[in-house]
Amino acid sequence: MTTIGVYKDRLKEQNLSKPEKVKMIKLRELEHREYENKKCTYFEYKCKNDDDLLFVARFEFVGDDSIDIWDMQIVLPSTSNGIGESQVYYKSFALPKKGIGIDLVCATGLRYFQLCLKDEIQRKMLMDFAITDCAGDM
């Protein structure tokens, strides 16, 4: 049996007709694009959950003819309870090859931001546990 046949049999066993569709960033979602000599040098991506704005990611090309380097700025709005102020994250990253589409530039940058978030979440959980140990159950 071919690999495709095995794959189709597994889908039938799981009562799935097709794999889930993966949401990818679309070019139309990249706003405020700026170009220089037909190369995109700046764009923004707004990440929303329904109608709520989660963050705005801004990307600016800072490389040259030999290497693609992008600066990314992520802006998180202030929290709804008014306690937390807006937060800004910065990251510069180089792409493995030149000429990658801006949708993949955006996806790459967002993956770097995701790694940063996971690290920050872990550190904040440790702080939470430490505060509980210090302050007790007041």
- At 29-69, the pLDDT tens digits run 999 999 999 999 999 999 998 888 899 999 999 988 888 99
Mean pLDDT calculated for residue range 91-117: 92
- Cα–Cα distances (Å) from 23 to 26, 92, 102, in that order, read 9, 25, 16
Q: Encoding tokens for residue 114?
A: 């995701």
Q: Encoding tokens for residue 78?
A: 């202030």
How far apart (Å, rounded) are the C-alpha atoms in residues 1 and 77? 53
Query: 77 versus 20: which is more confidently predicted?
Result: 77
Helix then strand count (H, E) for the chain reads 2, 5
Q: Are 43 and 29 a contacting pair, CB within 8 Å?
A: no
The pLDDT, as a whole number, for residue 133 is 87
What tens digit of pLDDT does each residue of 8-24 get?
566 566 655 555 566 78
Whole-model pTM: value is 0.75
Q: How many CB atoms lie within 10 A of CB 100?
A: 14
